[in-house]
Amino acid sequence: MSKNKNHTLRKVIFITILGWLICLSLPKFGYGNTIKILSASSFKPLLTEAIINFKKTNPNINFIIDTQGSQILKFQIQHGVLADIFFSADISYIDDILKMGLIDVANNGILCKNEMVLLKYKHSLVKINDITDIGYKKINLILGVKSSPFGYYAQEIIKKITAIGHHNFLEGLQANLISLESNVGSAVGKVRFGLADATIAYKSDFYANSNNLVLITILDKYQPDIFYGYAILKASLVKHDAKKFIAYLTLEARKKIFTKYGFIPLLED
């Protein structure tokens, strides 16, 4: 065999072995040691810390997290994306995929509540003290698209404000609107960097990162009911590990992580 052929053969063998070693080093989604999570953007900071703590006693379980608006994640699940756990900012999406037969009745539930707040850019020159100011003062406002949970909840608040006689509020709000975002992380990020004066977002978004933000409380009479749910997908190949992680989140000793990030835990042990 010529030197060139020997060199080529050695090169092929080297590349094959290298590829095999790289594959071995990667997390094996669907092969028993990696949980793939599809999560509402607003839930990611809590999940990140929970996973770090969980892995202290479960070092062999790995995680992949994909965060988007819950409406986008539901669409992905509906169209066959591979995943193990879905965390939704709107439990109606859990109900939807349950009706599609993509989860089992026993493997879904409610984790916690959230509430909406007005988040203002800390260095904004506009004085904003109340949610009604977004319709009566000249500001740059960002909201969510109606198909996203945080956008839908904002619309519910706006409807309640206009229903009790705040004349011209809606017209002023629409004039102030400069952007509609598909996920809350994008909306809050733009306010945090001064690209807008305010947005209606989750209280948990402020708790996750309050840099350059001022929280303005929205009265209870305007608040929608916001329940965060979970579902372990029927197609998951790591249901045992997925259930173990859900159980970890709902342990009494772990529930303090919910309040740390502005959520109200609901599940009982």
Q: Which of 249, 79, 262, 248 is nearest to 184 (CA)?
A: 262
Which of 81, 96, 103, 101 lies closest to 37, judged by CA? 81
- pLDDT of amino acid 63: 97
Instruction: Provide the pLDDT confidence category of residue 166 given band limits of 50, 70 and 90.
Output: confident
Contact 228, 88 (CB under 8 A): yes
Q: What gap in Å lies between CA 156 and CA 228, rounded to an integer? A: 17
The domain defined by 10-113+227-265 folds into: D-Maltodextrin-Binding Protein; domain 2 (3.40.190)
Q: Which of 115, 134, 127 is nearest to 261 (CA)?
A: 115
Give the residue, 252 or 149, on which the prediction is more confident.
149
Residue 145 has pLDDT above 50, yes or no: yes
Predicted pLDDT at 71:
93
pLDDT at 228: 95
Q: 10-113+227-265 and 116-222: same fold?
A: yes
Residue 24 or residue 156, greater confidence: 156
| pLDDT reported for residue 17 | 44
DSSP state letter for 1: -
User: Is it the case that residue 269 has pLDDT exceeding 80?
Assistant: no
**Residue extents of the structural domains in the chain:** 10-113+227-265, 116-222
Number of other residues whose CB lies within 10 A of the CB of residue 142: 25
What pTM did the predictor assign? 0.80
Tokens (6 digits) for 124: 């904004």
What is the domain class of 116-222 according to CATH? alpha beta
